[in-house]
Amino acid sequence: MDANMLLLQTLNSAFTMFSKSIPATHATVPAAADPCRASSPPPPIEDELEKCLEAFRKAKGLSSEVIGIVLDNFRNVSYSPDAICEASPQRLEEVSGLKEGQVLTMKKFVREWCGKIDAKKARRGIA
In this prediction, residue 37 carries a pLDDT of: 53
Residue 42 and residue 126 in contact, taking contact as beta carbons nearer than 8 Å: yes
CATH of 37-124, one of 3.30.1120, 1.10.150, 1.10.10, 1.10.1760: 1.10.150
Q: Tell me: the pLDDT tens digits for 11-50? A: 667 666 666 666 655 545 454 454 445 678 999 999 999 9
Question: What are the CA-CA distances from residue 46 to residues 40, 55, 71, 79, 98 (Å)?
Answer: 17, 16, 13, 11, 23
Residue 89 and residue 104 in contact, taking contact as beta carbons nearer than 8 Å: yes
Q: Which amino acid is residue 104, in one-letter code?
A: L
The angle at the Cα of 120, spanning 72 to 93, to the nearest 5 degrees, equals: 30
Taking the whole predicted model, whether its pTM rises above 0.75 is answered as: no
Percent of the chain with pLDDT over 90: 65
